[in-house]
Amino acid sequence: MSAVLETRAAPVRSRRRRIGATLASGMLILAASLVLAIVPGWFAPYDPLAFDYGALLQAPSLAHPFGTDNFGRDMLSRVIWAYRIDMQIALFATIFPILFGCLVGALVGYYGGWPDVLFGRVVDALITFPFLVLVIAIVAVLGPGLINMYIAVGVVGWVFYARLLRAEIRIQKQQEYAAAGKVMGYGDARIVLRHLLPNAITPVLVFWMTDMALVILLGSSLGYLGLGAQPPAAEWGVLIADGKNFMTTGWWISIFPGLAIVVTGLGFSLLGDGMADLLRPQR
Protein backbone atom coordinates (compact mmCIF):
# COMPACT_ATOMS: atom_id res chain seq x y z
CA MET A 1 0.00 0.00 0.00
CA SER A 2 2.64 2.48 1.02
CA ALA A 3 4.76 1.35 -1.88
CA VAL A 4 1.94 2.27 -4.27
CA LEU A 5 1.61 5.68 -2.70
CA GLU A 6 5.31 6.29 -2.97
CA THR A 7 5.56 5.41 -6.63
CA ARG A 8 2.72 7.81 -7.26
CA ALA A 9 4.32 10.61 -5.35
CA ALA A 10 7.74 10.13 -6.89
CA PRO A 11 7.15 11.61 -10.38
CA VAL A 12 5.76 14.82 -8.90
CA ARG A 13 8.74 15.29 -6.68
CA SER A 14 11.30 14.56 -9.37
CA ARG A 15 9.51 16.90 -11.77
CA ARG A 16 9.77 19.74 -9.29
CA ARG A 17 13.44 19.09 -8.79
CA ARG A 18 14.05 19.05 -12.54
CA ILE A 19 12.36 22.45 -12.95
CA GLY A 20 14.55 23.86 -10.23
CA ALA A 21 17.68 22.32 -11.68
CA THR A 22 16.87 23.60 -15.17
CA LEU A 23 16.41 27.12 -13.97
CA ALA A 24 19.42 27.00 -11.66
CA SER A 25 21.83 25.61 -14.26
CA GLY A 26 20.65 28.14 -16.83
CA MET A 27 21.11 30.97 -14.40
CA LEU A 28 24.54 29.66 -13.39
CA ILE A 29 25.78 29.52 -16.98
CA LEU A 30 24.44 32.97 -17.80
CA ALA A 31 25.74 34.53 -14.61
CA ALA A 32 29.20 33.22 -15.44
CA SER A 33 28.83 34.47 -19.02
CA LEU A 34 27.80 37.90 -17.78
CA VAL A 35 30.75 38.13 -15.43
CA LEU A 36 33.10 37.21 -18.28
CA ALA A 37 31.41 39.79 -20.50
CA ILE A 38 31.67 42.57 -17.92
CA VAL A 39 35.22 42.00 -16.69
CA PRO A 40 37.03 39.81 -19.24
CA GLY A 41 40.34 41.37 -18.20
CA TRP A 42 40.18 39.65 -14.81
CA PHE A 43 40.06 36.21 -16.36
CA ALA A 44 41.92 36.43 -19.66
CA PRO A 45 45.58 35.48 -19.11
CA TYR A 46 46.83 37.40 -22.19
CA ASP A 47 45.98 40.43 -24.29
CA PRO A 48 43.54 39.05 -26.88
CA LEU A 49 45.05 41.12 -29.65
CA ALA A 50 48.77 40.70 -28.86
CA PHE A 51 50.75 38.77 -31.48
CA ASP A 52 53.38 36.33 -30.26
CA TYR A 53 55.56 35.11 -33.14
CA GLY A 54 57.31 32.74 -30.83
CA ALA A 55 54.12 30.77 -30.22
CA LEU A 56 52.28 30.36 -33.53
CA LEU A 57 49.55 27.72 -33.90
CA GLN A 58 50.33 26.03 -30.62
CA ALA A 59 48.16 23.15 -29.50
CA PRO A 60 46.43 23.49 -26.11
CA SER A 61 48.98 23.39 -23.31
CA LEU A 62 49.30 24.63 -19.74
CA ALA A 63 50.57 28.01 -20.95
CA HIS A 64 47.79 28.30 -23.55
CA PRO A 65 44.84 26.07 -22.43
CA PHE A 66 42.92 26.74 -25.68
CA GLY A 67 46.07 26.95 -27.86
CA THR A 68 47.13 29.87 -30.03
CA ASP A 69 46.18 31.00 -33.52
CA ASN A 70 48.33 31.68 -36.55
CA PHE A 71 49.44 35.03 -35.09
CA GLY A 72 50.29 33.53 -31.72
CA ARG A 73 47.23 35.12 -30.02
CA ASP A 74 46.03 33.22 -26.98
CA MET A 75 42.73 31.57 -27.86
CA LEU A 76 41.48 31.39 -24.26
CA SER A 77 41.87 35.15 -23.94
CA ARG A 78 40.18 35.71 -27.28
CA VAL A 79 37.25 33.45 -26.39
CA ILE A 80 36.84 35.24 -23.05
CA TRP A 81 36.98 38.70 -24.60
CA ALA A 82 34.46 37.55 -27.18
CA TYR A 83 31.92 37.14 -24.36
CA ARG A 84 31.75 40.92 -24.20
CA ILE A 85 30.76 41.29 -27.84
CA ASP A 86 28.52 38.25 -28.04
CA MET A 87 26.57 38.97 -24.85
CA GLN A 88 26.18 42.50 -26.12
CA ILE A 89 24.77 41.09 -29.35
CA ALA A 90 22.37 38.92 -27.36
CA LEU A 91 21.03 41.95 -25.55
CA PHE A 92 21.15 44.73 -28.14
CA ALA A 93 19.88 42.64 -31.03
CA THR A 94 16.80 41.61 -29.05
CA ILE A 95 15.94 44.65 -26.95
CA PHE A 96 14.49 46.71 -29.79
CA PRO A 97 12.53 43.79 -31.26
CA ILE A 98 11.03 42.86 -27.90
CA LEU A 99 10.02 46.40 -26.98
CA PHE A 100 8.66 47.43 -30.35
CA GLY A 101 7.17 43.99 -31.00
CA CYS A 102 5.34 43.99 -27.66
CA LEU A 103 4.00 47.48 -28.26
CA VAL A 104 2.66 46.57 -31.69
CA GLY A 105 1.46 43.14 -30.59
CA ALA A 106 -0.44 44.50 -27.59
CA LEU A 107 -2.08 47.26 -29.63
CA VAL A 108 -3.23 45.18 -32.58
CA GLY A 109 -4.14 42.28 -30.31
CA TYR A 110 -6.30 44.43 -28.06
CA TYR A 111 -7.90 46.78 -30.56
CA GLY A 112 -8.01 44.61 -33.69
CA GLY A 113 -9.64 46.30 -36.67
CA TRP A 114 -7.81 47.39 -39.80
CA PRO A 115 -4.40 47.85 -38.10
CA ASP A 116 -4.60 44.18 -37.19
CA VAL A 117 -5.27 43.25 -40.81
CA LEU A 118 -2.37 45.45 -41.95
CA PHE A 119 -0.15 43.86 -39.31
CA GLY A 120 -1.08 40.43 -40.63
CA ARG A 121 0.05 41.44 -44.11
CA VAL A 122 3.35 42.89 -42.83
CA VAL A 123 4.03 39.68 -40.92
CA ASP A 124 3.23 37.60 -43.99
CA ALA A 125 5.58 39.70 -46.10
CA LEU A 126 8.45 39.59 -43.60
CA ILE A 127 8.31 35.90 -42.74
CA THR A 128 8.11 34.91 -46.39
CA PHE A 129 11.84 35.64 -46.57
CA PRO A 130 14.20 33.33 -44.73
CA PHE A 131 15.31 35.32 -41.68
CA LEU A 132 19.04 34.97 -42.26
CA VAL A 133 18.80 35.86 -45.94
CA LEU A 134 16.77 38.98 -45.15
CA VAL A 135 19.21 40.09 -42.45
CA ILE A 136 22.19 39.47 -44.73
CA ALA A 137 20.50 41.47 -47.49
CA ILE A 138 19.87 44.41 -45.15
CA VAL A 139 23.40 44.31 -43.76
CA ALA A 140 24.75 44.14 -47.29
CA VAL A 141 22.87 47.34 -48.12
CA LEU A 142 23.80 49.16 -44.92
CA GLY A 143 27.36 47.88 -44.82
CA PRO A 144 28.99 45.41 -42.42
CA GLY A 145 29.38 46.08 -38.71
CA LEU A 146 27.62 45.44 -35.42
CA ILE A 147 25.39 48.54 -35.43
CA ASN A 148 24.06 47.74 -38.87
CA MET A 149 23.53 44.16 -37.78
CA TYR A 150 21.37 45.37 -34.85
CA ILE A 151 19.36 47.49 -37.25
CA ALA A 152 18.89 44.60 -39.65
CA VAL A 153 17.81 42.19 -36.91
CA GLY A 154 15.51 44.85 -35.45
CA VAL A 155 13.77 45.50 -38.75
CA VAL A 156 12.77 41.85 -39.02
CA GLY A 157 12.91 40.45 -35.50
CA TRP A 158 10.08 42.47 -33.91
CA VAL A 159 7.42 40.61 -35.88
CA PHE A 160 8.05 37.38 -33.94
CA TYR A 161 7.45 39.11 -30.61
CA ALA A 162 4.49 41.06 -31.94
CA ARG A 163 2.90 37.90 -33.33
CA LEU A 164 3.33 36.02 -30.06
CA LEU A 165 1.98 38.80 -27.88
CA ARG A 166 -0.88 39.60 -30.24
CA ALA A 167 -2.10 36.00 -30.06
CA GLU A 168 -1.81 35.89 -26.27
CA ILE A 169 -3.54 39.24 -25.79
CA ARG A 170 -6.37 38.11 -28.02
CA ILE A 171 -6.82 35.01 -25.87
CA GLN A 172 -6.61 36.94 -22.62
CA LYS A 173 -9.02 39.69 -23.63
CA GLN A 174 -11.73 37.07 -24.16
CA GLN A 175 -11.39 36.05 -20.53
CA GLU A 176 -14.03 37.24 -18.12
CA TYR A 177 -11.52 39.07 -15.96
CA ALA A 178 -10.86 41.44 -18.86
CA ALA A 179 -14.59 42.18 -19.07
CA ALA A 180 -14.65 42.47 -15.28
CA GLY A 181 -11.89 45.06 -15.47
CA LYS A 182 -13.82 46.99 -18.08
CA VAL A 183 -16.99 46.96 -16.06
CA MET A 184 -15.05 48.22 -13.06
CA GLY A 185 -14.37 51.33 -15.05
CA TYR A 186 -10.70 50.77 -15.80
CA GLY A 187 -9.28 52.42 -18.90
CA ASP A 188 -7.78 50.50 -21.81
CA ALA A 189 -4.19 51.25 -20.82
CA ARG A 190 -4.73 49.88 -17.32
CA ILE A 191 -6.50 46.77 -18.58
CA VAL A 192 -3.77 46.01 -21.11
CA LEU A 193 -0.75 46.80 -18.95
CA ARG A 194 -1.87 45.59 -15.54
CA HIS A 195 -4.35 42.86 -16.33
CA LEU A 196 -3.67 41.36 -19.74
CA LEU A 197 0.09 41.78 -20.10
CA PRO A 198 1.17 39.85 -16.98
CA ASN A 199 -1.03 36.99 -18.13
CA ALA A 200 0.20 37.16 -21.71
CA ILE A 201 3.89 37.91 -21.41
CA THR A 202 5.28 34.48 -20.42
CA PRO A 203 5.65 33.05 -23.95
CA VAL A 204 7.32 36.29 -25.01
CA LEU A 205 9.87 36.08 -22.21
CA VAL A 206 10.56 32.44 -22.94
CA PHE A 207 10.96 33.20 -26.62
CA TRP A 208 13.26 36.07 -25.69
CA MET A 209 15.65 33.60 -24.07
CA THR A 210 15.61 31.39 -27.15
CA ASP A 211 16.00 34.43 -29.34
CA MET A 212 19.09 35.60 -27.47
CA ALA A 213 20.69 32.24 -28.21
CA LEU A 214 19.58 32.55 -31.83
CA VAL A 215 20.98 36.06 -32.32
CA ILE A 216 24.31 34.94 -30.89
CA LEU A 217 24.30 32.27 -33.56
CA LEU A 218 23.21 34.85 -36.10
CA GLY A 219 25.86 37.31 -34.94
CA SER A 220 28.43 34.56 -35.20
CA SER A 221 27.20 33.59 -38.64
CA LEU A 222 27.46 37.18 -39.81
CA GLY A 223 30.85 37.50 -38.12
CA TYR A 224 31.93 34.34 -39.92
CA LEU A 225 30.75 35.82 -43.22
CA GLY A 226 32.55 39.08 -42.44
CA LEU A 227 29.29 41.06 -42.12
CA GLY A 228 29.10 41.38 -38.32
CA ALA A 229 31.89 42.18 -35.89
CA GLN A 230 35.07 43.01 -37.80
CA PRO A 231 38.49 41.41 -37.24
CA PRO A 232 40.65 41.69 -35.28
CA ALA A 233 37.85 42.06 -32.69
CA ALA A 234 37.34 38.83 -30.81
CA GLU A 235 33.87 37.52 -31.61
CA TRP A 236 33.07 33.83 -31.70
CA GLY A 237 31.96 33.81 -35.35
CA VAL A 238 35.05 35.77 -36.36
CA LEU A 239 37.23 33.36 -34.37
CA ILE A 240 35.65 30.34 -36.04
CA ALA A 241 36.20 31.98 -39.42
CA ASP A 242 39.85 32.64 -38.46
CA GLY A 243 40.32 28.98 -37.84
CA LYS A 244 38.65 27.67 -40.99
CA ASN A 245 41.96 27.53 -42.93
CA PHE A 246 43.63 25.59 -40.14
CA MET A 247 40.97 22.95 -39.48
CA THR A 248 43.45 20.11 -40.10
CA THR A 249 46.48 21.65 -38.42
CA GLY A 250 44.94 23.80 -35.68
CA TRP A 251 41.44 22.45 -34.82
CA TRP A 252 41.45 24.28 -31.47
CA ILE A 253 41.11 27.70 -33.11
CA SER A 254 37.55 26.97 -34.25
CA ILE A 255 36.47 24.37 -31.71
CA PHE A 256 36.72 26.45 -28.52
CA PRO A 257 34.73 29.47 -29.76
CA GLY A 258 32.20 26.96 -31.09
CA LEU A 259 31.92 25.36 -27.67
CA ALA A 260 31.46 28.78 -26.10
CA ILE A 261 28.51 29.39 -28.43
CA VAL A 262 27.01 26.01 -27.54
CA VAL A 263 27.36 26.53 -23.80
CA THR A 264 25.95 30.06 -23.86
CA GLY A 265 23.08 28.98 -26.07
CA LEU A 266 22.39 26.12 -23.71
CA GLY A 267 22.35 28.56 -20.82
CA PHE A 268 19.69 30.70 -22.48
CA SER A 269 17.60 27.65 -23.40
CA LEU A 270 17.73 26.24 -19.87
CA LEU A 271 16.77 29.60 -18.41
CA GLY A 272 13.90 29.90 -20.88
CA ASP A 273 12.59 26.43 -20.01
CA GLY A 274 12.90 27.09 -16.32
CA MET A 275 11.06 30.39 -16.65
CA ALA A 276 8.27 28.80 -18.66
CA ASP A 277 7.58 26.38 -15.80
CA LEU A 278 7.96 28.99 -13.12
CA LEU A 279 5.83 31.73 -14.66
CA ARG A 280 2.90 29.65 -15.84
CA PRO A 281 -0.12 31.27 -14.15
CA GLN A 282 -2.03 28.92 -11.91
CA ARG A 283 -5.75 28.62 -12.35
Positions that interact with other proteins (CB under 8 A): 112, 175-177, 179-187, 190, 194-195, 198-199, 281-283
Question: Least distance from C-beta 188 to other proteins, angstroms?
Answer: 9
Nearer to other proteins, 5 or 183 (CB): 183
Question: Least distance from C-beta 186 to other proteins, angstroms?
Answer: 6
CB proximity list for 264: less than 8 A, separation 6 or greater: 29, 30, 33, 83, 86, 87, 90, 213, 216
Question: Least distance from C-beta 210 to other proteins, angstroms?
Answer: 23
Question: Least distance from C-beta 183 to other proteins, angstroms?
Answer: 4
Q: In whole angstroms, give the CA distance from residue 19 to residue 47.
A: 40
Burial track 193-228 (b if 16+ CB lie within 10 A, e otherwise): eebbbebbbbebebbbbbbbbbbbbbbbbbbbbebb
Asked if 255 and 185 count as a contact pair (C-beta separation under 8 A), the reply is: no
Nearer to other proteins, 248 or 282 (CB): 282
- 226's torsion region: left (phi>0), alpha (psi -120 to 50) or beta? left
Question: Least distance from C-beta 280 to other proteins, angstroms?
Answer: 10
Question: Least distance from C-beta 39 to other proteins, angstroms?
Answer: 37
Q: Looking at residue 68, what DSSP letter applies?
A: B
Nearer to other proteins, 1 or 183 (CB): 183
Nearer to other proteins, 45 or 198 (CB): 198
* ω into 232 cis (within 30 of 0): yes
Nearer to other proteins, 155 or 167 (CB): 167
Q: Which neighbouring-strand residues pair with 272? A: none
Closest by alpha carbon to 261, among 225, 227, 220, 226?
A: 220
Nearer to other proteins, 12 or 184 (CB): 184
Greatest CA separation found in the chain? 77
